[in-house]
Structure 1
């Protein structure tokens, strides 16, 4: 199980444009509820977001945070061959946050016979499993965040943590409607950051000739404006690299952020 969790950790942390990585996603049956009720979720990695065609997502580390800060335990969890399915009973008024955080290190080097070796895991495991004299050693730190938001009744304000790559939406994530541009601000360790690369794909790509992926890059204030002209679920992936590592053995930090947003018709 630890090995599986490590692999999923790296997959999520390395999430980027689906041109060169599988999309990692969690999709709720609804993001806006008029009254307390159950919501069902699909969770998977796939060739294109929202297409169930690759592997289930491990949700052992998933947190479902209620408006008052308490945690909700997912129920009816079923891990299939292609997706994980679970339910959550949302009973409080306000906005719930689903949060899946991953962090760790990945390394590559050559052994005494010049054969390539790779590692994915924690800093502690890195120190134990990677030789101190490893040849051509390359180490990077990974930090990723996946979020979903579901609101019961009136939306409530969302807070950031000041850690890693985070998103602030000028319009509440559960108040998005067609025809209204959306301003997004990306923070790295709590500060608006220029140069964050963002990809957005609308669901139902199976029934289009291509994914119609749109790409963006944040300005000097960490901002960008996007148009979401059609109703549906949207997968947003953001990626950024810097050298602010927590362990000096790593030379680079790779940050990733993924969120599923529902856009409703006006």
Structure 2
């Protein structure tokens, strides 16, 4: 009996873990390690089905922040939003390491109104005016997400890598622009500035569009929030971690979801 390609695709999709089917948000710089005079990079930003391919929606850049080698903010240039991706340029005018991040925070609410389910997403300021005070079966959750990447011009430094103490963050023990195939790298996860222990970390290599599985690697943070990964080959990798608790900073919310994603480039030996 022949099985149609559509049915086969559905069977394969159902067999995959939920993380394999979920959309992935990422920042992809044109280069991560540069030398020479007056360097620039272009960064693509998207939410996609296939990692590092533009096939779903552009990543919004409203909450884009760029920290320069001296820790001061750097402006993005030539920003544009297309159908499937956003793009912007960064002038690396000073030598050292730059941290490029989209940091989002907000509230999600659901309730029942006139027998029908209602949903809302926004910030604390708009919550009071847009969500009924006495909504039936009201459930409110808080989200905090950080999506980032790292770029170094010339000699690397660590000033831009200093954590903010808010949400889920990555603190590199191994510099994020000093990663090589076959070598182990160590990182540390913090939650609100404290070690994030026992968190599951997923690391996925580029190229999933051309294979039938993600080839993901996993790690778990220890009591100090640290974990290590040995890179099997050169290329780009997407690192992701999530955490849920009831430690909200917004009084309306009863649950908090913190997430962290980073694009890292591993160089050949």
The answer to whether the superposition gives a TM-score over 0.5 is: yes
TM-score by length of 2: 0.88
The equivalent residue for 1:49 is 51
User: Which of 244, 248, 251 lines up with 1:245 in the alignment?
Assistant: 248
Computing the radius of gyration over CA atoms, which structure comes out larger, 1 or 2? 2
SS for the counterpart of 2:252 is coil
Give, in whole Å, the separation in 2 of the partners of 1:118 and 1:264.
Answer: 44
Give the whole-Å Cα distance in 2 for the aligned partners of 1:232 and 1:18. 21
Q: Aligned partners of 1:263, 1:76: CA distance in 2, in Å?
A: 27
Q: Does the 8 Å contact 2:26/2:148 carry over to 1? A: no
Query: Which consecutive residues of structure 1, in runs of 5 or more, have no partner in the other structure?
Result: 1-16
Q: Residues 179 and 229 of structure 1 are in contact (CA less than 8 Å); yes or no, is this contact kept in structure 2?
A: yes
| Cα deviation digits, residues 70-90 of structure 1 (max 9, x gap) | 333222222211111221111
Return structure 1 stretches of 4+ with deviation > 6 angstroms.
none
User: 1:106 Cα deviation (Å)?
Assistant: 0.4
State the Cα distance separating 1:20 from its structure 2 match.
4.8
Please name the residue that 1:145 is paired with: 146
Query: Quick check: 2:120–2:131 contact (8 Å CA) kept in 1?
Result: yes
Cα distance between partner residues in 2 of 1:70 and 1:223 = 27
Q: Which residue of 2 aligns with 1:39?
A: 41
Tell me, yes or no, if structure 1 residue 226 matches structure 2 residue 201.
Answer: no
How high is the TM-score relative to the length of structure 1? 0.89
Report the aligned-residue RMSD.
1.7
Out of 74, 79, 82, the residue aligned to residue 80 of structure 1 is: 82
Equivalent runs, 1:1-266 vs 2, <5 Å: 18-35=19-36, 36-111=38-113, 113-157=114-158, 158-266=161-269
Residue deviations 1:166-208 (CA, integer Å, cap 9, x gap)? 1112210000001111222111011112232322111111222
CA distance in 2, matches of 1:166, 1:138: 27
Q: Residues 89-117 of structure 1: CA distance to partner in whole angstroms, max 9, x if unpaired?
A: 11111001112111111011111x22111
Give the distance between the partners of 1:43 and 1:256, measured in 2 at CA: 17
Contact 1:178 1:231 (8 Å CA) reproduced: yes
1:242 is displaced (CA, Å) by: 1.4
Structure 2: runs of 5 or more not aligned? 1-17
Shift of the alpha carbon at 1:141? 0.7
